[in-house]
Amino acid sequence: MYIYQLSSIKDSKKFLKNLKVHGAGVTIMAKKMELLYFYIKDLKTPALNILKQDALSIGADLAIPAGAITFEEDYYDCLLIGTKKHIEILSYKELAQPFGLRDLAHSLRDFLNIKEYPVEIMGIINANDDSFFKGSRFKDKSAISKIEEMIRDGATIIDIGGVSSRPNAKIVSSQEELKRVKPICDAIRDKKLYERVSFSIDSYSVEVIEYALKSGFNIVNDITGGANDEVIKLAIKYGAKLCIMHMKGTPQTMQDNPTYSDIMVEVSNFFEKRIKKAISLGLKRDNIIIDVGIGFGKKLEHNLMLIQNMSHFRKFNCQILVGASRKSMIDMITPTPIEDRLAGTIAIHLKALENGANIIRCHDVKEHKQAITVWNKLSIPY
């Protein structure tokens, strides 16, 4: 006999099936194999003490501040720790409890009914002269050549934009934006490239978006997060997906000392409202992608917090896009020019995938395809 410790088991059900565990046992045991952590803010003190006792009674636990037992404050933050099975039982128990615990129970249940999405790579094509990375700038024939290369390299989505959204980017009219992307849209339509992969238009201009959708595009990548109802209605009209991104301010102001009382709460509340609005207008949840907006009105600590806690946003049951390709957060961690930030980019993106993202928006498709393929192989239980 020999025993060794496993570092982690990404796919618990697959591991148990490989172990030839009985069918019913796979589902039961898989729920006991993943330890979950829920950071709960501003919980009423009576509710906190009830939750603590209920958690302990089923084998879970609640980490609470020292003063909570003696009711020194009216509200406290706490950390709930338990397996998926524990959380299922606890969420049922709390439905009958007062002090806001019923609402907490419903919130916990949102985290338990999560849909899985396949990993996809979105290649970036910028049809402008001022995007922060020169290697992403292409026009007309060179853009089509690059698109075909990205498809060969493993991209399943190509994102095309005519206006830079880097900090302090120049404001461009819709007419000029359309002039930049129109030749690319026309070539995609004429070559029927949309039959090979999905195409995304990176714009919030109604005129530009509609032209792209008429050309075979099926994703709208809106950095304003669906602020304009007309953009949402266009996505509905053409049966396209809408990517709702969080941004504090505008590209011209977003990096002017952005501050948050709690980045996770603010971004989560933003998605809650924008998703609700989009669905109320008729957009299906399956056609919504969310993007936390790395670098869009965020300091380094905000970006790191969002990536480290990406799994939180899975509760919305939408695809999650992350785009940190060659961005300045890498330079803030380890001083590096834009041209040399590929390694840092891949490190961030793999961590984001590990934490729940499923669409990677990047400049370097071939390298990401290789990294993700190897990463997936390492995640297979043997």
Annotated catalytic residues are 327, 361
Distance CA 246, CA 169 (A): 17
Distance CA 64, CA 44 (A): 12
Residue 6: partners with Cβ closer than 8 Å, 6 or more residues away: none
Q: Can you say whether residue 11 is alpha, beta or left, with left for phi > 0 and alpha for psi between -120 and 50 degrees?
A: beta
Give the tokens for residue 84. 């998926």
Q: DSSP letters of 114-173?
A: PPP---EEEEEEE-SS--S-GGGB--HHHHHHHHHHHHHHT-SEEEEESS--STTPPP--
Residue (of 338, 348, 125) closest to 221 by Cα position: 125
* Total Cβ atoms within 10 A of residue 240: 22
* Total Cβ atoms within 10 A of residue 377: 8
